[in-house]
Chain A
Amino acid sequence: MRKFLLKRALMLPLVALGVTFLLFSLTGLLPPEMRASIYLQDQRELTPELMQELIKEHKLDAPLVVRYGTWLKSLLKGDLGYSETARMKVTDAIKTYLSATLELTIFAIIPIFFIGTRLGTISAVKKDKWPDQLTRLLAITGYSLPTFVFGLLALMFFYGWLGVLGPGRYSFETDMLIHSGAFKSYTGLLTVDSLLNFKPAVFWDAVKHLVLPASVLCFGSVAMLIRITRTSMLEELNKDYVRTARAKGLRESYVIAAHVRRNAMIPVITLVSLQFVRLLGGVVITETVFDFPGIGRWGVKAAQQLDLAGVMGFSLMSALLFVLANTVSDVLYAVMDPRIRYGE
């Protein structure tokens, strides 16, 4: 076990390093002026003089490996350049947008977990009967319907027709309030901060803006969890201990709840930790559809407007979070299931 943990812990920085190298070498596809823009520190025109300065300072005429070295050094110092689209330093942009995205993903992952495990269980217990068929229909619709089509449909109904829920993260009134001196930001999560500031109106407003994008994310991602829960439950249901439990005369509901579900949840729990970060990929589209000011919308805007520093910061952060979650999920899996011990 210790050997496995050690191996995973050593792999983490190596993959992270590889990710930075891959991203950096991709910038080699661009003309030199654009490449230089990732070294800008603030909103300045890239004049020829400044260009010469940057070339000298960051050794931009050196071979790839050397350039990568100097870039990595500034990266480790926490310097990622200036994002044109966000109009702030990349590190500040990540801080600002990540909290919005985090709030959205939390609002999506909770229903995903409960709906996914519940429907997956029902689907397995009633295999090939109508609840199973219905659930599978729901799941396949969920991952076949493009997020952007479903999102726009939701906006058409709830914003265009009913006028109750809308795009963005908050309304104009809330915007005024939270940027006045009276509102203190503690966590960056609007729903939490509003309660800490005793502003129930802001809380309500934030929730109203989260419901639609969170539901769209949930509908698109819940299918995977349903499927894993179902397969895992089916596998457990066929085992001998289930037959023993039934033979003892235990009620079926007890067998399912106390025996099967517990064992079937092992792969499911680890998947949820992975899903949480996989949602960060899903938010790219959802945030763009709902104009929700998170990390995904920023990344897309940066890509559209060729804000290279923004693109690099966004992709670097997504990948690092992804790698981290993968590792956590692997370790969780090994800890929870004693049968799995990699490399021993």
Chain B
Amino acid sequence: MFDERTIKRFKKSKASIFGLGLIAAFLLLALLAPFIAKPQGSDPYQMPQSGYSSEPQRPSAGKIFGTTESQYDLFYGVVWGARTAFKIGAAVIFVALGAGLIIGGLAGYYGGWADEGAMRLTDIILAFPGIVLAVVIVAMLGPGIEKVIFAIAAVSWPAYARLFRGDILTVKKQDYVTASRLMGAGDFWIFTRHILPNSIYPVVVVASLDIGSVVLTAAALSFLGLGAPAGYSDWGQLVAMSRNWILGGAGSPFAYWHTLLIPGGAIFLFVLAWNLLGDAFRDVLDPRQQ
């Protein structure tokens, strides 16, 4: 799938390099979070609060991004929020991809009733607008990061299962699979030695590029008050906190701009980076555009 020409074309695309650079910067921020913003309490993901006044403070020397509602430190929240974003993104993709590979794999390899059952199940889940089903699941489970991860994974796996199943169906018909079977190989051997290596890459690439949209959905759930618990470093929650302050004060309509633009900008750049990368991949791999 990735021959030399493809990689060359990919490197030529400036947008994809920019996206890759942004992702690397966010990753660095997430990894170095304990050094950039020192944790103060026992739970490092909990944003430190200075005082109890609800009115946000403007950026100042001590707090370079200022504070948001209830005096939560914005700089701390944005830095540790990067960690939260990667945590949620990676966990969702891990769970959803795992489920997609197992269910899609069984459906594609065995066919018949297993296939029919699995595909009708994906039909039903895909019959919902993703965010609606995620809202319903979180409503039933209650808020919390793990529940958000579960809810988003539960709505994302069908796409991966279908893609993987489709690829298996093509590989299954190849002559080398038949040859291996004639030589007496068992299902497990054939699947792991011949089918898996020839069908797994597309779905893994597609899934890992979905991290951006997963984080976007998680942020949306947090914004709706169905995600991270209060005070947890989470970009979506920080945007939700700015909601009461968008009107500004008398005579200065943009007095609290930082409460919206800083966490909102973080989500935007993060999602943009993944989308740039995803678009570049699609252009490079789309045979119709060559």
Contacts and interface: CB of A to CB of B under 8 A. Distances in A.
B85 interface: no
B267 A234 contact: no
Contact of A144 (B123, B224, B268): B268
A319 B139 contact: no
A48 B280 CA distance: 60
Contacts of B121: 18
B15 to A, nearest CB: 8
A18 B260 contact: no
Interface string A138-161: 001101111111001101100111
Which of A21, A299, A326 has most B Cβ within 10 Å? A299
Nearest to B263: A149
A146 B254 contact: no
A18 B158 CA distance: 15
A141 B271 contact: no
B279 A288 contact: no
B137 A26 contact: yes
Contacts of B288: 231, 234-235
Interface stretch (A51-59, A200-208, A278-286): A278-286
A23 B140 CA distance: 11
Which of A26, A30, A152, A280 has most B Cβ within 10 Å? A152
Interface in A300-321: 300, 302-304, 306, 311, 314-315, 318-319
Interface string B131-157: 111011111110000000000000000
Interface in B147-171: none
B267 A149 contact: yes
A15 to B, nearest CB: 5
A323 interface: yes
Contact of A299 (B132, B138, B260, B272): B132
Given A284-B131, A315-B135, A322-B128, 10 more contacts: A14-B120, A148-B240, A149-B264, A152-B239, A152-B243, A152-B246, A159-B247, A311-B140, A319-B128, A322-B127
Interface residues of A, number: 52
B135 A300 contact: yes
Contact of B268 (A146, A152, A278, A285): A146
B275 interface: yes
Contact of B247 (A27, A141, A160): A160
Which of B125, B131, B139, B254 has most A Cβ within 10 Å? B139
Interface in A197-243: 231, 234-235
Contacts of B264: 146, 149, 152-153
Can you list the 5 inter-chain pairs with the closest CB atoms, starting with the nearest?
A281-B129, A149-B264, A303-B139, A18-B124, A161-B253
A288 B124 contact: no
A155 to B, nearest CB: 5
Given A145-B268, A152-B243, A19 B127 contact: yes
Nearest to A14: B120
Nearest to A231: B288
A300 B224 contact: yes
Contacts of B226: 300, 303-304
Contacts of A159: 246-247
Contact of A22 (B124, B223, B225, B268): B124
Contacts of B267: 146, 149
The binding surface of chain B is classed by DSSP as helix
Nearest to A148: B223
Contacts of B50: none
A285 B227 CA distance: 14
B188 to A, nearest CB: 32
Interface string A164-200: 0000000000000000000000000000000000000
Contacts of A160: 246-248, 253-254
A148 B261 CA distance: 12
A94 to B, nearest CB: 14
B219 A146 contact: yes
Interface in A233-279: 234-235, 277-278
Interface in B251-272: 253-254, 257, 260-261, 264, 267-268, 271-272
A310 to B, nearest CB: 10
Contacts, number: 149
A29 interface: yes
22 contacts: A15-B123, A15-B127, A19-B128, A140-B276, A143-B275, A145-B268, A145-B271, A146-B220, A148-B219, A148-B223, A159-B247, A160-B246, A231-B289, A234-B289, A281-B129, A281-B130, A285-B131, A288-B224, A299-B135, A303-B138, A303-B224, A304-B225
B242 interface: yes
A147 B35 CA distance: 32
Given A141-B272, A156-B254, A29 B141 contact: yes
Nearest to B223: A148
B209 interface: no
A278 B247 contact: no
A313 to B, nearest CB: 11
Given A18-B124, A326-B127, A153 B260 contact: yes
Nearest to B264: A149
A149 B260 contact: yes
B246 A303 contact: no
A280 B129 contact: yes
Nearest to B273: A144
Which of B121, B224, B225, B240 has most A Cβ within 10 Å? B224
A311 B136 contact: yes
A330 B240 CA distance: 38
Contact of B272 (A18, A140, A288, A304): A140
A144 B136 contact: no
Nearest to B266: A149
Contacts of A284: 129, 131-132, 135, 224
Interface in B228-258: 236, 239-240, 242-243, 246-248, 253-254, 257
